[in-house]
Structure 1
Amino acid sequence: MAVVSWPCLTINLRRTLVTQHSPKQLSLPVYLPDDETFDSYYPASGNDELIKTLQNSAQQSIDNSLYLFGPEKSGRTHLLHAACAQANDSDRRALYIPLGIHASISTALFDDLESMQLICIDDVDAIAGHPVWEEALFHLYNRIAEQDDCQLIVSASASPQEADFVLPDLVSRMQWGLIYQLQPMEDHEKLAALQRRAAMRGLQLPDDVGRFLLTRMARDLRTLFDVLDKLDKASMVHQRKLTIPFIKEMLRL
């Protein structure tokens, strides 16, 4: 998978925040794929308002905070990556933080983040039940609320009330802003997304072949796209089209 070196997002990211007191350097081991943008996202019906709001939020602060929730592998991470990419295209300072790795980083990462223009925090419910992290995030929410041009977007697998946070004030802050539930894709939408992805790679994915993948593989798009990438490479090596027999052979189904 390709890695994009955006100004604020690289492997083993070294971020310098200059404050009135002293510069602070923090290392964040994160990489972002260069193909996860709004253009490459396949929205399910019912998510149009959410996508438009995220695009607007990436270009300007519209409500200080936005809370997005949906099941694992539902596309939440793709959307946060896309927001950061669009913010960078608009020359806005952006940062992506995956809190699934909170055990290997420090709450000091939140210090002075309000100087950024877009902050995307993924899997925020990973810190639910960790008082030190919850308090640090609570204070970040308060600092951001005092800024004129700082947008916070967080993602989780459940709503603020259902995410098992132990700090009531943090849940209250999360409810201050916009809250969206990511709607799941129907099978025909997943098929269309697979075919569009295949076409971008110069592949033809017939309906019957696409439906075969949907019935035999995990049904989330991230897994399906990974499988399609493998089949793309295999088809080039073997100089064969994507057919059900070929897929069975390559995936040992």
Structure 2
Amino acid sequence: MVDNTLDGSQLTLGVRLHDDATFANFLGQKNALAAEKLKALSEDANLPVVVVCGDSGTGKSHLLQAVCHHAERSGLSALCLNLQELLPLGPDVLQGMESFERVCLDDIEAVAGDVHWEEALFHLFNRMLDNGHQLILSAVEPPARLAIGLRDLASRLQHGIVLQLALPRDEDRLLILGTRAERRGLVLPEDVSRFILRRASRHTGELLAILERLDESSLREQRRLTIPFVKSVMGW
């Protein structure tokens, strides 16, 4: 849970963990082992840095938030932020984050190549290490392929634990849609799910946003989810 100001122990940036972004709710057989491994790694404070890699839609953001949920349930302080969203605040925003026992920073490529951000991230890593705390990052590419100009930072990341995620299969996406619909109390027939997959982006986050939009429209209009209804709501 976080705020807007940083005083060495608290950061308030209006960022909140999604209740359903947990390890238990992470679906997709292709990355199930990686998720279990990340859960175990996040329990080991002797591992100062872990990098989760994968294309957009593989579930990196979900897993970073899951780390924070898991940490908090274990009595640890945790923070999860997106570096792309932090850019307007400048690299000084990283000051004081080392007070959290687990810090998860999403989208490291957003600051790659920026000397000031790289230095700030390097110093944060060192402060986390001194405190015996753990830094978990996400990136599209493995650390060796990131355009990190600061050699010391590149070296730290490359010597950390790297977990590679694969893009989910269509069957995984159908499972995710069906499970999320069920949790909402929404009846989503399989033919409707497959229609959505054929017409929509394969990005998991965008699929779930479509499901939310359909849920709201279904409630408002008191209509069941059918292919004609989905077409009318989505303009397909």
- 1:21 is aligned to none
User: Which of 34, 44, 50 lines up with 2:19 in the alignment?
Assistant: 34
How many residue pairs get matched?
236
1:250 aligns with 2:224: no
Change (3 A) 1:236 1:28: closer
Deviations 1:46-67 (A, max 9, x none): x233212322344442511100
Q: TM-score, normalised by structure 1?
A: 0.85
The alpha-carbon deviation at position 27 of structure 1 amounts to 4.5
Deviations 1:104-125 (A, max 9, x none): 2232233343332101011111
- 2:60 is aligned to 76
Q: TM-score, normalised by structure 2?
A: 0.91
Which AA in structure 2 matches 1:16? Answer: D
Which structure ranks higher in relative contact order (CA pairs < 8 Å, sequence separation ≥ 6)? Answer: 2
Change (3 A) 1:147 1:82: same
Deviations 1:179-219 (A, max 9, x none): 01111110011111111111111222222111100010111
Which AA in structure 2 matches 1:195? Answer: G
Cα separation, 2, equivalents of 1:33 and 1:110: 22
Q: Does structure 2 retain, via aligned residues, the 8 Å contact 1:58–1:84?
A: no
- 2:145 is aligned to 162
- 2:184 is aligned to 201
- 2:205 is aligned to 222
- 1:186 is aligned to 169
**1:28 aligns to what SS in structure 2?**
coil
Deviations 1:77-100 (A, max 9, x none): 111111112211211011112110
Deviation beyond 6 Å, 4+ runs, structure 1: none
Change (3 A) 1:238 1:74: same
User: Which of 113, 116, 125 lines up with 2:100 in the alignment?
Assistant: 116
Change (3 A) 1:44 1:105: farther
- 2:28 is aligned to 43
Cα separation, 2, equivalents of 1:58 and 1:238: 44
User: Which of 8, 13, 26 lines up with 2:4 in the alignment?
Assistant: 13
- 1:22 is aligned to none
Q: Does structure 1 retain, via aligned residues, the 8 Å contact 2:57–2:167?
A: no
1:144 aligns with 2:135: no
Q: Does structure 2 retain, via aligned residues, the 8 Å contact 1:44–1:184?
A: no
- 2:45 is aligned to 61
**1:152 aligns to what SS in structure 2?**
strand
User: Which of 157, 161, 174 lines up with 2:157 in the alignment?
Assistant: 174
The alpha-carbon deviation at position 26 of structure 1 amounts to 5.4
| Structure 1: segments with no counterpart, 5+ residues | 1-8, 19-24
Q: Does structure 2 retain, via aligned residues, the 8 Å contact 1:44–1:183?
A: no
From the two aligned structures, give the one with the greater helix fraction: 2
Cα separation, 2, equivalents of 1:245 and 1:36: 31
**1:154 aligns to what SS in structure 2?**
strand
Cα separation, 2, equivalents of 1:129 and 1:105: 17
The alpha-carbon deviation at position 252 of structure 1 amounts to 1.6
Q: Does structure 1 retain, via aligned residues, the 8 Å contact 2:6–2:96?
A: no
Q: Does structure 1 retain, via aligned residues, the 8 Å contact 2:4–2:12?
A: yes
- Identity, % of aligned positions: 36
1:93 aligns with 2:77: yes
Superposition RMSD in Å? 2.0
